[in-house]
Amino acid sequence: MRPVAAFILISILLASSVQARVLIVDPGDSSDAKTISAAVFKASPGDTIQIQPGRYPGAIIDRSLKIYGQEGVSIEGPLSINAPGCEIYDLKINTSRSDASLSLLSGDCQVIRCTISGEKAAVSSEGSNNTIANCSISSPAGIEIFAPDNRVLGCHIQGSGIGVRINQTSGCWVEDCTIAALQGVLIEDSDRNGVVNNTILTDGLGLVLTRSDGNVASGNNLSGAFVSGIDMLNSRFNDIAANKIEGGKVGISLRVTEHCNVTSNWCLGNERAGIYGNEASGLMLAENDLIENGNGILLSASADNIIRSNLASHNVYGISLRGSAKNLLQDNLMELNRYNLRIDDGDGADLSLQDYYDQDIDRSNMIDGRPIYYL
């Protein structure tokens, strides 16, 4: 490298290191600013703002900054992030207004180890590729996401309404969270999102997918006196795998749903059914353990589904096909149910009597160790 070029490069590096500053926010006179807004006004992109213990009003962050809070920091009022690439650490944020306590209006931001509460939504994300990690969230509407590729990781979320809402977007991920809410996770009009390895406690609905396609729900533990652990409506091509769902009315509900894979789930002690399908078609129900439910699998007014290699044990009914037709049953094991296999016209679906019994059930299906003969 020529001496002139080397001098220019060194000058640029030194200039950039000089420009990055740490500004201290403290009510006292020795700080750089007494409020967050005043510190932001003095800061340049890339600077760090360190907030000392105290109570502060909210602010608008309109440049790319790192903001750290010391223990004892409380921000009372909305905090709005209007610049990309901001990093927010260790803040306690609350507002009594109807606005979200923390609004992420830009993308590529990180919110880490924050405690956020509010009267409505704790966090609202309208920017893409934001990460909310290891935060404690408490509000009626916990986290609302309206932009793609957001991630909610390792958070504790509690509220009387919806824990995480994903609306009209794609590529978002909720993972390793503990969620206690009337609706744990709501995915509506959205595709290619993931809900993975979460613990969801609810007396309402655990995971809801409405008009949503190509999503993944796997490795979740859902419990409580819920109406439905996983509730799917008007949705297609979703993968529901390796979830544990116990103690509610219905474990997995598939209503007006097509071409979804429901595999390797464990449904225990659900009052009406472990897996319930209504007006469902093209489903793959495979390798699920269905134990001590009202029905292990209950299909109503449903056709052209595959039910394969499931264990239905100690249920009232093992597998029930009611008002349904042209379903394929292979390699299922039914044991110690009060009634193992039920096929009837249900509530009188719009089929002829003969159609109700048009099922493909071969001798690979076993009832208490004996093969089924279905003619």
Given the structure tokens 């932009």, which residue do they identify?
A: 147
Q: Could you list the residue range(s) of the whole structural domain that residue 102 is in?
A: 24-371
Number of domains making up the chain: 1
- The domain that holds 36 is classified in CATH as 2.160.20
Let me know if residue 287 belongs to a domain.
yes
The residues facing 250 across adjacent strands are: 228, 273
The pLDDT of residue 349 is 53
User: Has residue 14 got a pLDDT over 80?
Assistant: no
* Closest by Cα among 63, 106, 70, 68 to 88: 68
User: Has residue 10 got a pLDDT over 50?
Assistant: no
The pLDDT of residue 8 is 45
Rounded to 5 degrees, φ, ψ at 218 are: -145, 145
The pLDDT of residue 2 is 52
Contact between residue 224 and residue 251 where contact means Cβ atoms under 8 Å apart: no
The pLDDT of residue 103 is 97
User: Has residue 16 got a pLDDT over 50?
Assistant: no
User: Has residue 96 got a pLDDT over 70?
Assistant: yes
pLDDT band for position 77 (cuts 50, 70, 90): confident
Mean of per-residue pLDDT scores for the chain: 93
Q: What is the pLDDT of residues 49-68, one digit of tens each?
A: 999 999 999 999 999 999 99
The pLDDT of residue 216 is 98
Q: What is the pLDDT of residues 279-336, one digit of tens each?
A: 999 999 999 999 999 999 999 999 999 999 999 999 999 999 999 999 999 999 999 9
Average pLDDT rounded to a whole number, residues 148-160: 97
- Residue 64 to residue 69: CA distance in whole angstroms: 16
The pLDDT of residue 325 is 93
Average pLDDT rounded to a whole number, residues 92-116: 95
Let me know if residue 229 belongs to a domain.
yes
Let me know if residue 152 belongs to a domain.
yes
- Residue 299 to residue 255: CA distance in whole angstroms: 10
User: Has residue 102 got a pLDDT over 60?
Assistant: yes
The pLDDT of residue 350 is 60
- Residue 49 to residue 196: CA distance in whole angstroms: 34
* Closest by Cα among 194, 255, 266 to 223: 266
Q: What is the pLDDT of residues 157-174, one digit of tens each?
A: 999 999 999 999 999 999
The pLDDT > 70 percentage for the chain reads 93
User: Has residue 361 got a pLDDT over 50?
Assistant: yes
Let me know if residue 6 belongs to a domain.
no
pLDDT band for position 15 (cuts 50, 70, 90): very low
User: Has residue 201 got a pLDDT over 50?
Assistant: yes
SS (H, E, C) the chain: CCHHHHHHHHHHHHHHHHHCCEEEECCCCCCCECCHHHHHHHCCCCCEEEECCEEEEEEEECCCCEEEECCCEEEEEEEEECCCCCEEECCEEEECCCCCCEEECCCCCEEECCEEEECCEEEEECCCCCEEECCEEECCEEEEECCCCCEEECCEEECCCEEEEEECCECCEEECCEEECCEEEEEECCECCEEECCEEECCCEEEEEECCECCEEECCEEECCCCEEEEEECCECCEEECCEEECCCEEEEEECCECCEEECCEEECCCCEEEEEECCECCEEECCEEECCCEEEEEECCECCEEECCEEECCCEEEEEECCECCEEECCEEECCCEEEEEECCCCCCCCHHHHCCCEECCCCEECCEECCCC
Let me know if residue 12 belongs to a domain.
no
Let me know if residue 276 belongs to a domain.
yes
Let me know if residue 325 belongs to a domain.
yes
Let me know if residue 336 belongs to a domain.
yes
Q: Where is average pLDDT lowest: 98-102, 112-116, 255-259?
A: 98-102
pLDDT band for position 17 (cuts 50, 70, 90): very low
